[in-house]
Structure 1
Amino acid sequence: MTLSIAFDNSYARLPDRFFARQAPVPVAAPQLLAVNAGLADELGLDPQALASREGLEVLAGNRVAEGSEPLAQAYAGHQFGGWVPRLGDGRAVLLGEVIDRQGRRRDLQLKGAGRTPFSRGGDGRAWLGPVLREYVVSEAMHALGLPTTRALAAVGTGEMVQRETALPGAVLTRVAASHIRVGTFQYLVARNDIEGLSALTEHVIARHYPQAEGPMGLLQAVVAAQAQLIAGWMSVGFIHGVMNTDNMSVAGETIDYGPCAFMDGYDPGKVFSSIDLQGRYAYANQPQIAVWNLAQLASSLLPLMGGESAIPAATEEIERFADLYSAAWAQRFAAKLGFSGPPKPGDCGLAQRLLDQMARAGADFTNTFRALAEGRPTGLEDGKDYAAWQADWQARLADEPDPQAVMRAANPAVIPRNHQVERMIEAAVAGDMAPFERLTAALEQPFADSAPAWLREAPGPDEEVTRTFCGT
């Protein structure tokens, strides 16, 4: 069966200094681990062709498909606040772009595709664990209705990757609206490449925000998109873990699932990333970090907006994030409590009072809200102030026509639990992909009442995962 991909590679038509033309590095013995048939169909691709020998070779990086123009993108970034002027795709290769069945332009990228000019001494590879983690978590994020990159396929390489120990290698095929980051803009402005900066700005406006007027309009659009995205993360207890500027997509998608995790017990200061020793990217800090990152985008765009004279206007746009985010947060948490329509005065206070009680009790974030949705005890009933909160909540619900339906649609029954993800990875390393398949299937309908009991359960004391790793 012949694999046909109708590539239309707009990024490859930008100036060559935006990237390095780079073919994937072939692997020894590719083995297909997973193909996302639903996503393939959405992209206008044949899942059976992707699973064929030819398809496997393309997904592994052993063959360059007709029409592909493989490249590694250049970008810079602030990593944990520290400036790095040259980063780029050190282990990823953009195969090209396709127009999906809805007319949307989508990137196809291989992650773990071997060394590139941006590898900085790294091996350019990925091991199986992070590939399957990103596959599961990004697809779960999509099922939760939040903007995200997605996983089209996972392939074993037949090679070992050296980390702390030798681990089986893998390649992820990632799909994104684009892989353009705040750091892409930073890369150009750091080189005083104003011509390139202008070309990139025009490209992003045409590709993602055609209604935006000029660089200031682009900044406005990205601020609004990020406000919605971060509020969405907060509403499901998601912690990205490494919100560097090179990991913030200007398309407003969740990107770069490294040391990410969903909270079990609610703790605003929760950190999972093993390298985030100061808690910079803790759950409660994510909105402020988004503002910080957006300020770096604004600074990068200043040369196109009139230089220093544009600082007040750009600052005003960045400051809009607070109101946009607060409105998005209020809408999401109002729905989590069963309130339809625009939030009313006092709704945010009700949500915060509940969160404060959950924090004191270490209550499970997902299960507490789902219990409210299902009319079950939350486990907070014996806690201080809960009876008063519940009375106020019930009084507010009296105005709502169908609060249970609103809550069931806003509060997932299941999320990718960290301990279940780790079990899945351990099994896959041992050659058993059944837990991966079971977990992926269970997360396809996170709001369903039929969600499996084993995935609803919070981890026991000996199962809790407290640290996650990026895999490089």
Structure 2
Amino acid sequence: MFIPFDNSYALLPEGFFSKQKPTSVSDPKLLAFNNELALTLGIELDDFAEAASVFSGNSIPQNAAPIAQLYAGHQFGSFNPQLGDGRAILLGEVIGSDGIRRDIQLKGSGPTPYSRMGDGRAWLGPVLREYVISEAMQALGIPTTRALAAVATGEQIWREQGALPGAVLTRVATSHLRVGTFQVFAHRGELEHLRTLTEYTIQRHYPEAQGPMDLLRAVCAAQADLVTRWMSVGFIHGVMNTDNCSIAGETIDYGPCAFMDGFHQNRVFSSIDTQGRYAFGTQPGIAVWNMAQLATCLIQLFKDRDAALEEATEIVHAMPDLLEKAWLNRFCAKIGISTPQADDQGLIEELLALMQTDEADFTNTFQALNEGKARDQFTDLEAFDQWSEKWKNRLTTEAESQTVMQSANPVIIPRNHRIEQMIEAAVAGDMAPFERLMKALATPFVETDAALARPPSRQEIVPATFCGT
């Protein structure tokens, strides 16, 4: 197998990472491979056995530079001064046919110096969950890490549920730089490393940025765009810790994430988010909080820290306006309005309040709005009719509004119960539900499998999702 590595992060000082090879596995078998992404990356696949060996970590490709990256992070608001890749190995980087530099990382590839007593492994369920959901996000047009391969290891690993089949995910990202990457050096007072990281990040992701404050401004804008895209499809990340906050503005680390069925602003799925810190409606505020932590790091690079603090505060305080504007644009499109006005926010919030009262299905309600059947989603018909009259008076032409809504409202999302059913089948050796989901989710704005668009029955509801560690 040929992978055209062109590594840059591994050339940074060794304090940024630890050199680490993956731990080999006993019987690797390729379960899924993303041919379209491989083509973009310039990867030539000769045979499945070789792919299984490489993407399980058993074989190290030529010119790879395997490392585990160092970072820190706030986890549910509490700072951990050293985290790092505890179960992931960055093989290296490639520059794709589109000119974009991307990381290729093995997730679940064994322990590293940052494993913190963990086994460094992943079990099949979270691997397939991330594969499906990350590729669904890509099809929805939402910036995301992507899945290149999933490999079964032939080994059992132990979690709370007992022995489970092991697997390795090959994850692709424009980088794995996080807010936590900046935090580890800022916390240690290693300002030369912090300066090197800042310059590297600017060169790799935001070459138009003129210094640290411009970088902060660019990352704030990217995060505002990302989080409002999540919300527009009912996505709840579940663990918006600073070590899961990508500097590149991509969705990263699909742990206890989920797409809502019944709408509620305070919806939480993560089993470890007992206080609702990362509920659906809190995500914009958490994004601002995360950017404040990045600002705290970057301020250290200035001699005049008072002036830097003032500028950084201004940038972070401007972020709620960015979020509000992006949110309004996305939700206006969902109700067929192409040119938002200030009053439209109230119209949208009124609809969301009606949806929350009935816990109406988020995805299907907006689809029904486009089809003229949204009234069926509500119990207070008078209240909906009153809203509907105001909404129709706001629209320009029916044809234009339908076009706008069709491009903003997916027909199908990776629903929680379907993901769980897919995992259960895969554990039993049946990959057909995985293939079915992947096919339907590749074209989320076109109905190709009506059964997959159906909300869960009461018996099928999955109330909580879990991390894979």
Name the TM-score class by shorter chain: over 0.9
Decide which of 5, 8, 17 is 1:7's aligned counterpart. Answer: 5
Q: CA deviation at 1:60?
A: 0.6
2:106 corresponds to 1:110: yes
CA distance in structure 2 between the partners assigned to 1:378 and 1:446 by the alignment: 23
Q: Which residue of structure 2 aligns with residue 172 of structure 1?
A: 169
CA distance in structure 2 between the partners assigned to 1:207 and 1:400 by the alignment: 44
After superposition, the C-alpha distances for 1:306-365 in whole angstroms (9 at most, x for unaligned) are 32331111011001111111111011011101111x312321111111001000011000
Q: Which residue of structure 2 aligns with residue 284 of structure 1?
A: 281
Q: Which residue of structure 1 aligns with residue 323 of structure 2?
A: 325
Secondary structure of 1:174's aligned partner: strand
Amino acid aligned to 1:87: L
Decide which of 396, 401, 404 is 1:403's aligned counterpart. Answer: 401
2:34 corresponds to 1:36: yes
Runs of 4+ in 1 over 6 A off after TM superposition: none
Decide which of 425, 429, 432 is 2:430's aligned counterpart. Answer: 432
Matched-pair contact (CA < 8 Å) for 1:339–1:400: no
Q: Which residue of structure 2 aligns with residue 59 of structure 1?
A: 55
Amino acid aligned to 2:78: G
CA distance in structure 2 between the partners assigned to 1:151 and 1:85 by the alignment: 29
Matched-pair contact (CA < 8 Å) for 1:374–1:408: no
Secondary structure of 1:251's aligned partner: coil
CA distance in structure 2 between the partners assigned to 1:382 and 1:206 by the alignment: 54
Q: Which residue of structure 1 aligns with residue 126 of structure 2?
A: 130
2:74 corresponds to 1:78: yes
2:200 corresponds to 1:203: yes
Secondary structure of 2:367's aligned partner: helix
Decide which of 283, 298, 304 is 2:295's aligned counterpart. Answer: 298
Q: Which residue of structure 2 aligns with residue 247 of structure 1?
A: 244
Q: CA deviation at 1:400?
A: 6.4
Q: 1:216 to 1:452 in 2, by over 3 A?
A: same
Amino acid aligned to 2:8: S
Decide which of 348, 371, 385 is 2:368's aligned counterpart. Answer: 371
Aligned length in residues: 466
Q: Which residue of structure 1 aligns with residue 445 of structure 2?
A: 447
Q: Which residue of structure 2 aligns with residue 221 of structure 1?
A: 218
Secondary structure of 2:329's aligned partner: helix
After superposition, the C-alpha distances for 1:290-314 in whole angstroms (9 at most, x for unaligned) are 1111100000111113323311110
Matched-pair contact (CA < 8 Å) for 1:237–1:263: yes
After superposition, the C-alpha distances for 1:63-109 in whole angstroms (9 at most, x for unaligned) are 11001000000000000001100000000000000001110000000
CA distance in structure 2 between the partners assigned to 1:210 and 1:183 by the alignment: 21
Matched-pair contact (CA < 8 Å) for 1:380–1:386: no
CA distance in structure 1 between the partners assigned to 2:110 and 2:41 by the alignment: 25
In the superposition, the TM-score normalised over structure 1's length comes to: 0.97
CA distance in structure 2 between the partners assigned to 1:23 and 1:307 by the alignment: 41
CA distance in structure 2 between the partners assigned to 1:350 and 1:380 by the alignment: 17
Percent identical pairs in the alignment equals 59
CA distance in structure 2 between the partners assigned to 1:180 and 1:398 by the alignment: 44
Q: Which residue of structure 2 aligns with residue 313 of structure 1?
A: 311
Q: CA deviation at 1:373?
A: 1.8
Matched-pair contact (CA < 8 Å) for 1:381–1:387: no
CA distance in structure 2 between the partners assigned to 1:235 and 1:381 by the alignment: 20
CA distance in structure 1 between the partners assigned to 2:297 and 2:151 by the alignment: 37
Question: Which stretches in structure 1 are left out of the alignment for 5+ residues?
Answer: none
Q: Which residue of structure 2 aligns with residue 336 of structure 1?
A: 334
CA distance in structure 1 between the partners assigned to 2:69 and 2:340 by the alignment: 42
Question: Which stretches in structure 2 are left out of the alignment for 5+ residues?
Answer: none
| RMSD (Å) for aligned C-alpha atoms | 1.1
